């Protein structure tokens, strides 16, 4: 694990986020649901630095997982783990080319004192997992299979959490379609949500990039700069949007959630 970006990391007690810098091969990242477009690796590195700066600017300490230069999609660190309290379940990504990304995440989390476990069966991407209180929604789609859902369900049950499987056919990951506001409202872009009826409170957003926010605390929401109308809508609801430019990652079906893993205070 690379040295933390600020204070010494003796214990995980505050807002800390794992990040992983983009590989020089980021332009070779996977695309599944969208047409491949040229990705500028240098611009991607700049945008990643801007993303990290936005997190740090709102009080988060970022800890870098060791770089995985041989993995084009390594920057999408969210997909390698599901963190529930002090327990970190390492995933088995649905795309075989991404499996080498997982070990480094495990090393970083062990060093931070987490109880690191293996998924044990099936495939699952962290981007398919949306936690809202004790409910853990899991997208059952292209990357996460039934055995992966079942394995996460067993791990979550030990921690008093319930897994709800959600069908996903129109987009890469569940959190490409929907994310949660701090008040538990689920926001999403309707053309890519299979069935909004799965969520107790659903608010449609006007742009695809507006379906994704990262809760930074104190009402602040990290959101892609590609979704200005959604940012306005969130501001109108009393939240504070924090826009970041992530266009090079959007070309690879990435969004704001997938570039970090927030580590919460143990519950
Ligand atoms: N959680 C996420 O939304 N991850 C984005 C992963 C994008 C990457 N190009 C992939 O296809 O795996």
Q: Assess whether 258 carries a catalytic annotation.
A: yes
Cα 215 from Cα 222, distance rounded (Å) = 7
pLDDT the model gives residue 11 = 44
Q: Assess whether 173 carries a catalytic annotation.
A: yes
pLDDT the model gives residue 13 = 47
Distance of CA 227 to the CA centre of its chain: 18
Q: Closest Cα to residue 125, out of 72, 168, 157, 170?
A: 168
Ligand 1 first shell, C-beta below 6 A: 29-30, 32, 73, 76, 78-79, 95, 98, 127, 172-173, 175-176, 252-255, 257-258
**CB within 8 Å of 15: residues ≥ 6 apart:** 59, 60, 61, 216, 217, 262, 264
Read off the tokens for 164: 């709800």
Give the pLDDT of the chain (267 residues) as one tens digit per residue.
654 444 444 444 459 999 999 999 999 999 999 999 999 999 999 999 999 999 999 999 999 999 999 999 999 999 999 999 999 999 999 999 999 999 999 999 999 999 999 999 999 999 999 999 999 999 999 999 999 999 999 999 999 999 999 999 999 999 999 999 999 999 999 999 999 999 999 999 999 999 999 999 999 999 999 999 999 999 999 999 999 999 999 999 999 999 999 996 533
- Backbone conformation region of residue 85, classed left if phi is above 0, alpha if psi is from -120 to 50, else beta: left
Tokens 């569940």 correspond to what residue? 174
The four Cα atoms 182, 108, 4, 214 give a dihedral, to 10 degrees, of -20
> How far does the centroid of ligand 1 lie from the alpha carbon of residue 200, in Å?
26
pLDDT the model gives residue 1 = 60
Q: Whose CA is nearest to atom 6 of ligand 1?
A: 254
pLDDT the model gives residue 24 = 97
Cα 24 from Cα 242, distance rounded (Å) = 27
Cα 91 from Cα 63, distance rounded (Å) = 19
Q: Closest Cα to residue 192, out of 209, 216, 213, 217?
A: 209
> How far does the centroid of ligand 1 lie from the alpha carbon of residue 239, in Å?
27
Read off the tokens for 16: 């800390």
* Substitution site in 172, 178, 179 for ligand 1 pocket (most atoms within 8 Å of beta carbon): 172
Give this complex's ipTM: 0.98
Cα 188 from Cα 178, distance rounded (Å) = 4
Looking at 172-213, which runs of residues are DSSP E strands? 178-180, 186-188, 202-204
pLDDT the model gives residue 182 = 95
The domain segmentation of the chain, as residue ranges, is 15-27+34-264
> How far does the centroid of ligand 1 lie from the alpha carbon of residue 94, in Å?
11
Which residue in 71, 173, 212, 255 is the catalytic one?
173
The atom number, within ligand 1, closest to the CA of 95 reads: 12
Alpha helices in 79-162 (DSSP H): 102-111, 146-158
Cα 232 from Cα 221, distance rounded (Å) = 12
Read off the tokens for 31: 């695309």
Distance of CA 29 to the CA centre of its chain: 16
pLDDT the model gives residue 267 = 33
pLDDT the model gives residue 134 = 96
pLDDT the model gives residue 259 = 98
**CB within 8 Å of 97: residues ≥ 6 apart:** 30, 71, 72, 73
> How far does the centroid of ligand 1 lie from the alpha carbon of residue 10, in Å?
31
CATH number of the structural domain 15-27+34-264: 3.75.10.10
């Amino acid at each position: 694990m690379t040295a933390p970006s600020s204070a010494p990391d003796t214990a995980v007690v505050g807002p800390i986020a794992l990040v992983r810098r983009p590989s020089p091969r980021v332009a070779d990242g996977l695309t599944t649901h969208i047409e491949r477009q040229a990705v500028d690796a240098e611009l991607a590195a700049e945008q990643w630095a801007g993303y990290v700066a936005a997190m740090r600017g709102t009080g988060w300490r970022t800890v870098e997982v060791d770089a995985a230069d041989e993995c084009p999609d390594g920057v999408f660190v969210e997909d390698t783990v599901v963190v529930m309290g002090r327990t970190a379940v390492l995933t088995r990504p649905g795309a075989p080319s991404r499996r080498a990304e997982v070990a480094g995440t495990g090393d970083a989390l062990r060093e931070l004192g987490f109880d690191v476990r293996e998924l044990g069966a099936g495939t699952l991407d962290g981007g398919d997992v949306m936690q809202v209180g004790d409910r853990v929604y899991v997208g059952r789609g292209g990357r996460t299979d039934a055995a992966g859902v079942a394995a996460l369900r067993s791990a979550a049950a030990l921690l008093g959490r319930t897994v709800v499987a959600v069908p996903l056919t129109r987009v890469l990951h569940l959190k490409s379609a929907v994310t949660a506001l701090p008040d538990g409202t689920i926001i999403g872009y309707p053309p890519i949500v299979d069935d909004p009826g799965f969520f107790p409170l659903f608010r449609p957003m006007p742009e695809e990039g507006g379906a994704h926010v990262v809760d930074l605390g104190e009402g602040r929401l990290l959101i892609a700069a590609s979704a200005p109308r959604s940012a306005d809508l969130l501001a109108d609801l009393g939240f504070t949007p924090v826009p970041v430019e992530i266009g090079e990652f959007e070309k690879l079906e990435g969004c704001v959630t997938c570039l970090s893993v927030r580590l919460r205070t143990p519950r």
